[in-house]
Structure 1
Amino acid sequence: MSGDDAATLWPRVAEGLRRDLGARTFDHWLKPVRFADYCTLSGVVTLETASRFSANWINERFGERLALAWRQHLPGARSVNVRGGAAAADRAAALSQAPLPNMGAAAAPAAPVSPGLPLAAPIAASIPSTFDPRLSFDRFVVARSNILAANAARRMAMAEAPQFNPLYLCSGTGQGKTHLLQAIAQAYAAIRPTANIILMSAEKFMLEFVGAMRGGDMMAFKARLRAADLLLLDDLQFVIGKNSTQEELLHTIDDLLTAGKRLVVTADRPPAMLDGVEARLLSRLSGGLVADIEAPEADLRERIIRQRLAAMPMVEVPDEVVAYLVKHFTRNIRELEGALNKLLAYAALTGTPVDLTLAEDRLAENVRSARPRITIDEIQRAVCAHYRLDKSEMASKRRVRTIARPRQVAMYLAKELTPRSYPEIGRRFGGRDHSTVIHAVRTVEALRVADSELDAEIAAIRRSLNG
């Protein structure tokens, strides 16, 4: 498909993105974006927006989602790059009168970036389009919470064979796993320019696997992955429960490790906690080094902010604003950087100076959503502490009332206070069926109305969790 033909697909791609991301997010960031080019040789789709600041933000936050959306309409699309600047602004202004079908009025061109914000550096031509040059080892801030993962990642990118293979990086969302994947890929590409490096999300692995099955192209799919010198898979938890995908992934891992190739995998939990994953696959993933990345400490959070601001010498951010960000965004780095970006973007686009009042006003909703989430493990511990039980009873088969009732309370709170589904909760309580969890939730709901003492106990447990 030519570039002109690809241009006709953008309205459909954009409409799907607006539906998936929500009108508010789409209209704010992606509505001003216009199609620029499609290279049939590299498979790179180029989009344009008016400012480099916006382009930088969109590439960072929506790059993978854009690529997936394009591949649904254009299978040859391998990646998407959004560029911005003066020339793009002129073209966007010229096209701003052409509305996208079924998407309301056309967007006005985005406001030009403030002189106080630096322009994004162009991506070096030598770096593959799937790599983000901003996510390098040099820009990864190391502290106690991530030093094992960072050092293991550097070892994986060295010329000599790594001591531990595969490398399994695990942490909650937004702690730097994807940054380290990108850094490994780019560092290894620098010392081995001819190496075949494949960096993909587990979701993309699954989509390509299903597409190859339906298209009768499994041999090409298998050959491409097994030819990798370095395979990096992000967010492995998304293949949980997909048996056929797990089987193919297992064979891929076996072939790569047997051939002495390198493998790096990330997930949001350790291998042993990946419910629904085949034992053989868990064994392979645990056979190298499992490196945990903990929640960022206050010193690390501050150093990350200072590093970002050092690249923006014209932006003045008072120390009290930095302290505010460090204090309120403790859960992960992505939320911290997102809050900083939101604050700087608002200041740049409105001409408002950055101060504590602005931070408190514009980031109030971010602060509320950044509060630590309660986990099932914490709920089980709190219930056991209240009823003076051993935590192992939460998974035991004992049905005496003194154990069964607290277990039901814990299941009820797990459904109330976490986003976990009934089957997920059941697995965390000794592999119980989802119907058992549903019964427990309904039982406790009824008892809270009829039994004031139990209602008070549950309220006390909730207070201890929230405190």
Structure 2
Amino acid sequence: MSPALLSAWQNISSGLRRDLGAQIFGQWIKPIKLSHFDSANGNLQLVLPSEFAANWVRDRYADRLLLAWKSQDLAVQKLSFSAKAGAARIAQVKQSNAAASAKTPNHKTAKFHLDLDPRMRFEEFIAGHSNVLALNAAQRMASPEKPLFSPLYLQSSTGQGKTHLMHAIGHAYRAEFPDARIIYMSAERFMIEFVSAMRRNETMEFKADLREADLLMIDDIQFIVGKNSTQEEFLHTVDSLISRGKRIVVAADRPPQALDGVDQRLLSRLSMGLVADIQSAGLELRRDILQHRLAAMPHQDVSEDVVEFLARTISRNLRELEGGLNKLLAYAQLTGRAITKELAEEQLSDILSACRRRITIDEIQRTVCEYYRLDRNEMSSKRRARAVARPRQVAMYLAKVMTPRSYPEIGRKFGGRDHSTVIHAVKLVEQLRGEDSEMDNDVRMLLRQLES
């Protein structure tokens, strides 16, 4: 394979890992190998470990992969997917040898090799009001004491820390019980492994491997619904582990009752333990996470205003927040540019535009008037009394900070005022926030109300 194609594949892989996430990338994209490129017709052959994996990637990622290749190398016009000859048999032999030679029970389950992210430990998980229940429950699940509940059901939207807590449980439990059998996998992989075992007539071995676990963790459980045979097997596995006092952790993006197409018996088992909800991270937690990450990199010079800007703007999920910070740090290091708010807006424009909620000036005016107990008409009136003018200036400042409107557009929404009046208001409020703690508190409260 030519160096140019190998270099292009490295670039494509980096982009897909960022876009798809480490778990999906590691399961489906990372195993891909470049096999042969036919320059006559522009066909590049990609090889995967199994026929099942080749079909899965072809069905779900072929278009995305081809687009990525065309952006890197115009010579690649089409892709073909195949399985490595003898891959299934080789994998079985390796698993058998590993099982025979392993010294600890944890490694005997070679089929479900424990692959935990070393960065995802309890020490690296930042606690806040939104996640403290889930964190405490996760720490209890990993402790030597018998858990008060099982299963532990972690629920949150994407990127709020479910997967981090599951990896942290795995690390802590392994530290306490080095010989324990720990299995962590996605529901998607559970389904694939089960179907593969059925095709190889190894269903009994698959069941035995699962039911010998001391700690079973299944991520993204919502993807197991609608698969009757898979649900049935998972139900029996859960029953077996619960009856023997073993520990089970599952995670999903919705509560158990909202899982569509789930067997009622399985729903009952998932609900019988503790359902720990992780709410969206608030501003304070987002700020703390950024500060924690930067504390581990003392050589990086990032000012408070940049941290505040990122914490306020990238609010959809924590994965985007940390990814945005990492991208900014990498760009600054590679180019030698100082990390400023302007650089953040320039380099993170795609993330920022997706995260900004469409807040209107009307909404800002209404919220400011309610906060200061003013009549809404005062936003457009000519009165200059400080009790009226100062809230009006705060509203102008918020309109500039939280909306894409220009100074003239903002002026028109405040009784047809000139753009210079708006500029003066914005600069004044910025100055007062640095000098007057009461003013700064007012603005923070209003920002929190408008962002919630």
**2:289 aligned to which of 304, 318, 321:** 304
1:355 pairs with 2:356: no
**2:176 aligned to which of 184, 191, 208:** 191
In structure 1, what is the Cα distance between the partners aligned to 2:202 and 2:5?
27
In structure 2, what is the Cα distance between the partners aligned to 1:347 and 1:245?
48
Structure 2 counterpart of 1:74, one-letter code: P
- Identity among equivalent positions (%) equals 49
1:174 pairs with 2:165: no
1:65 corresponds in structure 2 to 25
2:241 corresponds in structure 1 to 256
In structure 1, what is the Cα distance between the partners aligned to 2:355 and 2:220?
21
Normalising by structure 2, what TM-score? 0.59
In structure 1, what is the Cα distance between the partners aligned to 2:243 and 2:226?
26
Structure 2 vs 1, CA of residues 301 and 315 (structure 1 numbering), >3 Å: closer, same or farther?
same
Question: Within 5 Å, which residues of 2 pair with 1:133-172?
Answer: 133-172=118-157
CA contact (8 A) 1:228 1:261 kept: yes
Partner of 1:135, secondary structure, is coil
CA contact (8 A) 2:114 2:183 kept: no
**1:74 aligned to which of 49, 67, 85:** 49
CA deviation map 1:384-415 (0-9, x unaligned): xxxxxxxxxxxxxxxxxxxxxxxxxxxxxxxx
CA contact (8 A) 1:331 1:372 kept: no
Q: How many residue pairs get matched? A: 293
In structure 2, what is the Cα distance between the partners aligned to 1:306 and 1:175?
17
CA deviation map 1:144-179 (0-9, x unaligned): 100000000000001111001110000000000000
Question: Within 5 Å, which residues of 2 pair with 1:187-266?
Answer: 187-266=172-251
CA contact (8 A) 1:335 1:370 kept: no
Worse-superposed segment, 57-66 or 280-289: 57-66
In structure 2, what is the Cα distance between the partners aligned to 1:316 and 1:188?
37
Structure 2 counterpart of 1:66, one-letter code: G
CA contact (8 A) 1:13 1:73 kept: no
Shift of 1:14: 10
In structure 2, what is the Cα distance between the partners aligned to 1:14 and 1:253?
45
In structure 2, what is the Cα distance between the partners aligned to 1:62 and 1:183?
16
In structure 2, what is the Cα distance between the partners aligned to 1:62 and 1:267?
17
In structure 2, what is the Cα distance between the partners aligned to 1:60 and 1:186?
24
2:259 corresponds in structure 1 to 274
Question: Within 5 Å, which residues of 2 pair with 1:46-125?
Answer: 61-62=21-22, 64-69=24-29, 70=31, 73-74=48-49, 103=76
In structure 1, what is the Cα distance between the partners aligned to 2:6 and 2:336?
33
CA deviation map 1:59-94 (0-9, x unaligned): 99435423334288336xxxxxxxxxxxxxxxxxxx
CA contact (8 A) 2:214 2:247 kept: yes
Shift of 1:138: 0.6
1:292 pairs with 2:277: yes
Structure 2 counterpart of 1:172, one-letter code: S
Shift of 1:29: 2.0
CA deviation map 1:321-355 (0-9, x unaligned): 10111111112111111111111121122221111
Structure 2 counterpart of 1:73, one-letter code: L
Structure 1 counterpart of 2:314, one-letter code: F
CA contact (8 A) 1:173 1:268 kept: yes
Partner of 1:231, secondary structure, is strand
Structure 1 counterpart of 2:288, one-letter code: R
Shift of 1:139: 0.7
Mind listing any 5+ residue stretches in structure 1 that lack a counterpart? 1-7, 19-24, 32-56, 76-98, 105-125, 374-465
Q: What is the CA RMSD across the aligned residues, in angstroms?
A: 3.6
Structure 2 vs 1, CA of residues 350 and 14 (structure 1 numbering), >3 Å: closer, same or farther?
closer
Partner of 1:312, secondary structure, is coil
CA contact (8 A) 2:114 2:182 kept: no
In structure 1, what is the Cα distance between the partners aligned to 2:156 and 2:5?
36
Mind listing any 5+ residue stretches in structure 2 that lack a counterpart? 33-46, 51-71, 78-105, 108-112, 359-450
Question: Within 5 Å, which residues of 2 pair with 1:356-395?
Answer: 356-371=341-356
In structure 2, what is the Cα distance between the partners aligned to 1:281 and 1:28?
37
